[in-house]
Amino acid sequence: MNRELIKLKFLLLFIFAITLILTGCTRTVDETGNKENSVISETVATSVDFRASAINSNISGHASPLPGVSILLIGTDGKVIDKLITNEQGEVQKDITVPIDHKYLDESPGALPPRGTVTAIAFKEGYRQKVLYEVPIDSTAQPFLMEPIVEGERNEPDVQLGNNHHLEIISLVRKYESILNNGH
C-alpha cells in the first residue's frame, strides 16, 4: 500500500514537471479570477535542438552528421544570444529564453502557444555558412544542411527559413489576413 502511494506521488510529480517544461509561456489569472485581464509573459523558454549534417558528394546523396559546427544564435535585437558547437552526432541542445515574437502571437481560442524567433548562423571550416531566418523557439528540432566549399565557385553563405510548423504559418497568415480584410 505504501509503495503504491509512493508510485502515485512520483507519477503526479512527473506529470507536473512535464507540464511545466512543455508550457514554456504561462497565462496567469488576475486577482479577481477574470481570465480577460490575464497577462501573458513577454518571454518564451524552451529547449531547442540543432542538428547539423553535411551533404555527401557521392551518388547516394545521403547526409551525414557534422560535428564541430559553430552556431551563433542572434536575437531580434541583433545581439548574439549564445554560441553553440555540435557534438560528434552533429547535434547540440540549448535551453533558451527569448522575447515572444508578436507577429506569431494569436490570442484566439485554440491558438498555438506563443513562440520566440531567432536567427541562426552556422560556421564550419570547409563548408559554406548557413543562415537560418525565423528559427522558431518552440521546442522544434532545427536542421542545418551544410554544403561543402567548391573550389573556383562563389561559395556564398546559403540562406533559408527556420523549421516553422505549418500550423504556425497558417495562424500567421490568418491573423494578418483578418487585419487586411478589416482595413487596419
The pLDDT assigned to 55 comes to: 81
**pLDDT tens, position by position, 86-101:** 999 999 999 999 999 8
Q: Is pLDDT above 70 for 15?
A: no
Residue 172 sits in a domain of what CATH number? 2.60.40.10
Asked if the structure places residue 17 within a domain, the reply is no
pTM greater than the 0.75 cutoff: no
| Contact criterion met (CB below 8 Å) for 106 and 91 | no
**pLDDT tens, position by position, 110-149:** 778 888 999 999 999 999 999 999 999 877 789 999 999 9
Asked if the structure places residue 27 within a domain, the reply is no
| Contact criterion met (CB below 8 Å) for 90 and 184 | no
Q: Is pLDDT above 70 for 14?
A: no
Question: Where is average pLDDT lowest: 3-17, 40-54, 86-100, 158-172?
Answer: 3-17
Asked if the structure places residue 19 within a domain, the reply is no
Asked if the structure places residue 161 within a domain, the reply is yes
Look at 24 and 60; give whichever has higher pLDDT. 60
Asked if the structure places residue 55 within a domain, the reply is yes
Q: Considering just the CA atoms, what is the radius of gyration of the chain in Å?
A: 21
| Contact criterion met (CB below 8 Å) for 40 and 82 | no
The pLDDT assigned to 75 comes to: 93
Asked if the structure places residue 28 within a domain, the reply is no
Domain count of the fold of the chain: 1
Domain range for 53 is 43-181
Reduced 3-state DSSP string for 93-106: EEEEEEEECCCCCC
Amino acid (1-letter code) at residue 129: Q
Asked if the structure places residue 18 within a domain, the reply is no
How large a percentage of the chain has pLDDT more than 90? 43
| Contact criterion met (CB below 8 Å) for 149 and 129 | no
